[in-house]
Amino acid sequence: MASLRTRWPLPAAAALVSVATAATAETVTGDVIYFTGYTVVCAAAWWAALRQAGPGERWPWLLIAVAQTFWLVGDLVSTAAFRFFPYWDPTGWMDAPWLAGYLAIGTGIMLMARLRARGQLREPLLDMLTLTTAVTIGMWWLLVAPALEASGGLYTAGIALDAGYMLGDVLITAAVLLLVLSPGRRSAPTGLLVTAACLRLVTDLGYAILPHLGVGMESLVSLGGLVLFGNSLMVITALHPGRAELVRPNPRTRTLHPARLVFLGLALLTAPAVAVAQGSGPQAQRIALLVATVAASAFILARFAGAVREQERAERLLAYQASYDPLTGLANRRTITGRLDACSAGDVLLYLDLDGFKAVNDTYGHDAGDALLVEVARRLRAAVREDDLVVRLGGDEFALLCPQASVHTDVIPLAERVLDAIAEPIGYDGHELRVGTSIGIAVVDETTTPGDLVRKADAAMYEAKRGGRGRWVLAGPPPKPAPLSLAG
């Protein structure tokens, strides 16, 4: 199954099979190609669903596998009726599994959005409901209303089925919108899934609209190749090595993308546009009414966007103040506490305490002490690597968190640079301020917890002070005294 992890061969193979299906539609060869390909797709869907790591993350993929199986059953019933029972009406027998497939797909994608937007779903949900309402109005007007008008307002079985498929498309649209609008990383897996869902919607619209444009059934059956390609892309998403982005929680984001405003504006205009198009009165008057509605909606959205931007700026400022030290601009305890929870084997923590800082404060005053801390912070930033985190823990204590650093080639040279840099005198109001620092170094291994790491680094730092200050000590096994934490 290693080949299933490749990125482009699978979509290319699915495209070739889909083209072959479309080219041989309505023939026995075409049926063999279609059902062989779709059976492979369903088997791959179940294999991908059952190999997911966690049971919570497995449910969306299980629902996608269930949906593919339902659609395959519906296709088998439809084809069997066409090939072997030409006088039997399979309506209902084939529609039930098809409609169940829509329900499973929509539920699965919505569950993905819920998993990756934990605690952040309210705003995407409201936007999704707004856009879905507009889509529902548009689909009803295009797909159901004409048939209902032709039947004199009677809801026949055919109209009920058309409405059912329309609701299935609305459900998939709502699910895709919720996934796209929810916070999270959007790379190839998200693009594949959205493309697959859009292909399903396009083919359904084609089946509904093309006959009214004079397209015959012999041409419509070629859309089966597009259906197979869309379903294949959905399963390829489940096989993609980066599929976890669709179900894993993501950091909170509060930025309002301009495209979201545009789509919300279009959604707000859907009902007025349909009402104007179907209304009575002179055409010029209806156009003027529509233009006025568009202008008013644009002004309201502009005002809304301005208010949201102000709120975002205020939230960014509060987030910065909560995560960074106001004096030095370095990250603070809260920031490094979060980073320590994500540490992995090979990361290194350096715990620094300035030597002689109290004497500077007592001799030259707190302003001099603040100026010294600011200069120490600047020198620390200049000494570390680009990916290293420099933190002021409070007072004259600092920390350096170095991801995936080699003790001998990265960390020890860094500690020597820090000792030399801080030992250099600092000019202040005609005086030379001199301090040193003691450094404790602790390395993360497979069994190290954040608490262990802090205790080891802190104990090593005090050992450096006892050993004469102005030096570094590499920690050994974790000490056993009372727990010490950076939080607080």
Q: How confident is the model at residue 261 (pLDDT cuts 50, 70, 90)?
A: low
Q: How confident is the model at residue 330 (pLDDT cuts 50, 70, 90)?
A: very high
pLDDT at 70: 96
Strand pairing partners for 391? 331, 399
Average confidence (pLDDT) over 414-427: 94
Where are the chain's structural domains?
2-253, 257-323, 333-474
Rounded-to-integer distance, Cα 394 and Cα 132, Å = 50
**Domain range 333-474, its CATH number among 2.60.40.10, 3.30.70.270, 3.40.605.10, 3.30.413.10:** 3.30.70.270
The 3-class secondary structure across 15-45, one letter per residue, is: HHHHHHHHHCCCCHHHHHHHHHHHHHHHHHH
**pLDDT one-digit tens code per residue, 334-354:** 889 888 887 888 899 999 999
Supply the mean pLDDT for the chain: 84
Rounded-to-integer distance, Cα 370 and Cα 392, Å = 13
> Among all chains, which residue has been given the structure tokens 């680009």?
386
**pLDDT one-digit tens code per residue, 139-185:** 888 788 888 888 887 888 888 888 899 999 999 999 998 998 888 77
pLDDT at 5: 45
Q: How confident is the model at residue 3 (pLDDT cuts 50, 70, 90)?
A: very low
**1-15, 87-101, 305-319, range with greatest mean pLDDT:** 87-101
Rounded-to-integer distance, Cα 188 and Cα 245, Å = 10
Rounded-to-integer distance, Cα 99 and Cα 106, Å = 11
**CA angle, 338 then 339 then 345, to 5°:** 135
**pLDDT one-digit tens code per residue, 63-84:** 999 999 999 999 999 888 888 8
pLDDT at 425: 93
Evaluate the CA torsion angle 362, 363, 364, 370 in order and state its sign: negative
End-to-end CA distance of the chain: 49
**pLDDT one-digit tens code per residue, 12-46:** 888 899 899 888 888 889 889 999 999 999 999 99
Distances (CA, A) of 311 to 117, 254, 304, 305, 308: 21, 9, 11, 10, 5
Average confidence (pLDDT) over 386-404: 92
Residue 141 DSSP symbol: I
Average confidence (pLDDT) over 186-209: 89
pLDDT at 390: 95
In 3D space, the residue among 231, 240, 230, 261 whose CA is nearest the CA of residue 190 turns out to be: 240
Evaluate the CA torsion angle 221, 225, 230, 232 in order and state its sign: positive
Whether the model clears a pTM of 0.75, i.e. scores above it, the answer is: no
Give Dmax (Cα) for the chain: 104
Per-residue b/e over 209-229, b at no fewer than 16 CB within 10 Å?
eeeeeeeeeeeebbbbbbbbb
Residue type (1 letter), 178: L
Q: Which residue has the higher pLDDT, 172 or 90?
A: 172
**pLDDT one-digit tens code per residue, 283-318:** 676 677 677 777 777 777 777 777 777 877 887 788
> For the CA atoms of 32, 34, 37, 39, what is the dihedral angle to 10 degrees?
-80
Say if residue 378's pLDDT is above 90.
yes
